[in-house]
């Protein structure tokens, strides 16, 4: 069952056992209900969300921590000192066990998340290090040093991994600073030793499309964007992205990639919560600066011999320079650099677009507080670095809509198909009802002469659309309706339209909310889209499966207890199908695409009908079947359709090209199947219209 849950939950006694009742909003029916859950549901949900198996699958990360830790322990021993290791945020205990294997004299590991601390204790015991590693179940900032404390004396080696996509977003600055002040000796070795943040200024209308809503044009201005939205710098939160998957022709570097912030984790230099720096740089091309790409690397050891880089492929130190200049070679090399979902690259949108001229120096100004970075560009040299507040949305649109949705609103091809279909239906005398959240195409209909009722139940989306209506002078043609109770009577409208898109929808088929709303009216009223087909394909993911794949052994250590902990909680709290932006996660098709169900949206929902459909589809290419992708195709009329899945025909054995402006559904198998031609994917689909329940089941039958 796929449900979007509210945060609200209450506890009640049921059959002498404690249970949790969680209020869930069904995204199809729009009805909220209370569901009884296992008494430990919130615990299992928290444990499942803490899964970081993809990080532990990162062999390069593990190996370089191992090498640097071994070097630190040997250096202390060569100096005639004990090697007393402190592991902050031990997680599974992996780094502590590495320290034990490398001959550390004492090891103290701390972990504040109790379920993970308990798991670490079990793993440490199972691997035979129970007498070597002391586990402290608290935050490092709460640890006490001294007789009777958590550590009898300060450590002289610190190993920790407290980094995220922004490097400092998990509180690295305060963690390292406190460790040096309270937990470490003066000449301690820290693994990693240093961190460097890199910045690259780029021009990219494709990337910019995820940040700013652009006007809709069709030979003429149909929908203009309010000045407040055009001038807004965007959401404050960083846009994390697998930049190596961004097509190389989708952006132009205007300035060379360069280090802009350096953090010395060793304690030799102070770690400041607030800094600002400027780099006077010679451009490598002329253009308009839209954004800054950011990534970071770590010098793992004191001799700077071990580098862990998160750079995208075109700047990665392990990619030869001659290959970086060749698009074909670069595409091949993309698969050779380590994949990480725990540390991606980031996009920072500039507060305003800045023209860059080759030959005219530009100042790249970087700022950071305790947790975040932001940037500004100024042409020419500076006498003083200006202050700049962290950009934040002041136009409401970036709060109302996700970046994926903003990209969708700016998708020219998608908009033109809708407009083409709508022009066939709309006349100046049309009275339309639009049931979609934040639908600018509804305003385009009004511009074409129709009168429009626009259902906007979400306050933020409604406020944003009011701005668009006012900017485009459409107040006399567009009436915004705040709730379903205020919808017009059937006699008042002659056409129902939707993109469909709803803020409450997570996976694509939840946008069938359009069908439910349209079914409030007689089916004799014309509708667009006219049909929805839920489609799927069996695939082999190159990397995405690692977010759920069991570890078993990791760098020679048995972590199966971690697998059991995460899997047990995931089965009790996770949906079997999740939403992912698959353009960032390569996969090879093992089957053709196939239809699960085609729904006729011109007929009203039959609430008395329960659909259960089963089927089989042949596997047409050999590989490792680790998942199934699911999406929806929307039929606008007899010959126009929109897909929120592949943008090209699926060819078994080839990689699938996915729409970058929607998220697709993904079912990851807990068991991986090695398949050949002749294997079969079996599936079943259950749909209960009355409750809005949707369930998928998949299995693979191999030739074995």
For the chain, give every domain's residue range.
55-191, 195-388, 403-504, 531-545+575-701
CB 92 within 8 A of CB 119: yes
CB 192 within 8 A of CB 389: no
H or E element that contains 267: none
Residue with tokens 């100024």: 378
C-alpha 569/C-alpha 145 separation (Å) is 35
Buried b (16+ CB within 10 A) or exposed e, 512-542: bbbbbbbbebeeeeebbbbbbbbbbbbbbbb
CA 153 to chain centre: 42
CATH class of the domain defined by 403-504: alpha beta
For 256-306, the pLDDT digits (tens) are 999 999 999 999 999 999 999 999 999 999 999 999 999 999 999 999 999
DSSP H helical ranges for 200-320: 205-208, 227-231
pLDDT at 374: 96
* Domain at 195-388: CATH code: 2.70.160.11
pLDDT at 371: 96
| Distances, alpha carbon 466 to alpha carbons 431, 458, 463, 684, 688, in Å | 19, 12, 5, 43, 36
DSSP H helical ranges for 267-347: 321-324, 327-333
Residue 35 confidence (pLDDT) above 80? no
170 has catalytic annotation: yes
CATH class of the domain defined by 531-545+575-701: mainly beta
pLDDT at 351: 85
315 has catalytic annotation: no
Q: Can you give the three-state secondary structure of 654-677, one letter per residue?
A: CECCECCCCCEEEEEEEEEEEECE
Confidence band (pLDDT; 50, 70, 90) for 382?
A: confident
- Of residues 51, 306, 297, the one with CA closest to residue 167: 297
| Distances, alpha carbon 511 to alpha carbons 4, 362, 505, 534, in Å | 13, 45, 6, 11
Confidence band (pLDDT; 50, 70, 90) for 3?
A: very low
Residue 423 confidence (pLDDT) above 50? yes
Catalytic residue chosen out of the listed positions 35, 126, 170, 392: 170
pLDDT at 39: 54
Catalytic residue chosen out of the listed positions 111, 161, 166, 315: 161
Burial of 154 (0-12, 13-18, 19+ CB in 10 A): middle
Confidence band (pLDDT; 50, 70, 90) for 437?
A: very high
For 183-233, the pLDDT digits (tens) are 999 999 999 999 999 999 999 999 999 999 999 998 889 999 999 998 898
Residue 672 tokens, joined: 């991986």
Instruction: Please check whether the domain covering 55-191 is classified as CATH 3.40.50.150.
Output: yes
pLDDT at 564: 87
Residue 10 confidence (pLDDT) above 50? no
Residue 378 confidence (pLDDT) above 60? yes
pLDDT at 36: 59
Residue 313 confidence (pLDDT) above 50? yes
Provide the 10 A C-beta neighbour count for residue 270.
8
pLDDT at 25: 77
The residue-averaged pLDDT of 82-88 equals 98
For 519-528, the pLDDT digits (tens) are 999 999 999 9
Residue 560 confidence (pLDDT) above 80? yes
pLDDT at 22: 65
C-alpha 181/C-alpha 192 separation (Å) is 18
Q: Can you give the three-state secondary structure of 184-219, one letter per residue?
A: EEEEEEEECCEEEEEEEEEECHHHHCCCCCCCEECC
Residue 43 confidence (pLDDT) above 90? no
pLDDT at 1: 36
pLDDT at 573: 67
Confidence band (pLDDT; 50, 70, 90) for 5?
A: very low
Of residues 509 and 381, the one with the higher pLDDT is 509
- Of residues 502, 357, 489, 481, the one with CA closest to residue 436: 502
C-alpha 383/C-alpha 385 separation (Å) is 7
Residue 255 confidence (pLDDT) above 80? yes
C-alpha 529/C-alpha 422 separation (Å) is 10
On average, the pLDDT of the chain sits at 92
Task: Evaluate whether 403-504 and 531-545+575-701 have a shared fold.
Answer: no
pLDDT at 8: 36
Angle (CA) 120-125-127 rounded to 5° is 95
Burial of 131 (0-12, 13-18, 19+ CB in 10 A): exposed
Residue 48 confidence (pLDDT) above 90? no
Confidence band (pLDDT; 50, 70, 90) for 335?
A: confident
For 107-149, the pLDDT digits (tens) are 999 999 898 999 999 999 999 999 999 999 999 999 999 999 9
Residue 15 confidence (pLDDT) above 50? no
Does the N-terminal peptide bond of residue 322 adopt cis geometry, omega within 30 degrees of 0? Answer: no
pLDDT at 11: 37
CB 93 within 8 A of CB 124: yes
């Amino acid at each position: 069952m796929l449900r979007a849950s509210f945060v609200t939950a209450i506890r009640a006694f049921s059959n002498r056992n404690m249970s949790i009742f969680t209020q869930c909003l069904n995204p199809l029916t729009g009805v909220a209900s209370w569901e009884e859950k296992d008494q430990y549901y919130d615990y299992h949900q928290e444990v499942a969300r803490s899964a970081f198996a993809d990080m532990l699958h990162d062999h390069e990360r593990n190996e370089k921590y191992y090498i640097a830790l071994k070097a630190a322990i040997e250096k202390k021993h060569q100096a005639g000192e004990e090697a007393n290791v402190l592991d902050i945020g031990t997680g599974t205990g992996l780094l502590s066990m590495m320290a034990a294997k490398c001959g550390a004299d004492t090891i103290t590991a701390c972990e504040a998340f109790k379920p993970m601390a308990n798991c670490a204790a079990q793993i440490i015991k199972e691997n035979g290090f129970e007498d070597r590693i002391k586990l402290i179940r608290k935050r490092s900032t709460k640890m006490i040093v001294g007789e009777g404390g958590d550590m009898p004396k300060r450590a002289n080696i610190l190993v920790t991994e407290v980094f995220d996509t922004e490097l400092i977003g998990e509180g690295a600055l305060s963690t390292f600073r406190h460790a040096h002040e309270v937990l470490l000796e003066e000449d301690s070795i820290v693994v990693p030793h240093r961190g460097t943040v890199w910045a690259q200024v780029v021009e990219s209308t494709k990337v910019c499309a995820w940040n700013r809503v652009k006007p809709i044009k069709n030979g003429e201005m149909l929908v203009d964007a309010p000045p407040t939205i055009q001038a807004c710098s965007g959401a404050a939160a960083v846009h994390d992205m697998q930049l190596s998957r961004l097509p190389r022709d989708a952006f132009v570097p205007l300035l060379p990639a360069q280090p802009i912030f350096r953090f010395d984790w060793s304690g030799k230099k102070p770690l400041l919560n607030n800094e600002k720096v400027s780099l006077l740089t010679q451009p490598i091309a002329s253009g308009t600066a839209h954004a800054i790409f950011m990534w970071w690397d770590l010098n793992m050891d004191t001799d700077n011999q071990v580098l862990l880089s998160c750079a995208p492929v075109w700047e990665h130190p392990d990619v030869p320079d001659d290959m970086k200049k060749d698009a074909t070679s670069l595409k091949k090399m993309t698969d050779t650099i380590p994949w990480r979902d725990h540390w991606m690259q980031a996009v920072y949108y500039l507060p305003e677009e800045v023209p860059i001229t080759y030959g005219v120096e530009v100042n790249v100004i970087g700022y950071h507080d305790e947790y975040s970075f932001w940037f500004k560009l100024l042409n020419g040299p500076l006498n003083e670095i200006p202050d700049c507040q962290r950009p934040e949305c002041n136009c409401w649109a970036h709060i109302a809509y996700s970046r994926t949705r903003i990209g969708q609103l700016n998708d020219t091809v998608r908009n033109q198909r809708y407009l083409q279909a709508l022009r066939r239906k709309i006349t100046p005398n049309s009275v339309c009802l639009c049931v979609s959240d934040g639908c600018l195409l509804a305003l385009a209909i009004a511009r074409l002469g129709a009168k429009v009722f626009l259902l906007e139940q979400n306050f933020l989306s409604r406020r944003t659309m009011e701005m668009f209506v006012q900017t485009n002078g459409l107040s006399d043609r567009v009436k915004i309706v705040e709730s379903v109770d205020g919808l017009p009577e059937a006699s008042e409208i002659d056409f129902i339209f939707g993109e469909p898109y709803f803020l409450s929808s997570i996976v694509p088929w939840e946008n069938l909310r359009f069908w439910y709303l349209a079914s409030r009216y007689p089916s004799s009223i014309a509708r667009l889209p006219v049909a929805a087909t839920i489609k799927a394909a069996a695939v082999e993911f190159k990397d995405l499966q690692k977010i759920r794949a069991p570890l078993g052994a990791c760098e020679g250590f048995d972590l199966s207890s971690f697998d059991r902990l995460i899997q047990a909680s995931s089965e009790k709290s996770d949906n079997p199908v999740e939403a992912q932006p698959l353009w960032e996660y390569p996969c090879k098709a093992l089957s053709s695409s196939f239809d699960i169900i085609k729904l006729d949206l011109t007929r009203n929902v039959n609430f008395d009908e329960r659909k259960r459909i089963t089927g089989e589809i042949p596997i047409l290419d050999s590989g490792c079947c680790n998942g199934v992708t699911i999406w929806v195709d929307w039929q606008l009329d007899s010959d126009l359709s929109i897909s929120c899945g592949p943008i090209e025909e699926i060819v078994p054995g080839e990689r699938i090209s996915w729409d970058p402006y929607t998220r697709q559904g993904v079912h990851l198998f807990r068991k991986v199947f090695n398949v050949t031609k002749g294997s079969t994917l079996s599936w079943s689909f259950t749909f209960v219209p009355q409750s809005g329940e949707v369930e998928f089941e998949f299995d693979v039958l191999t030739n074995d």
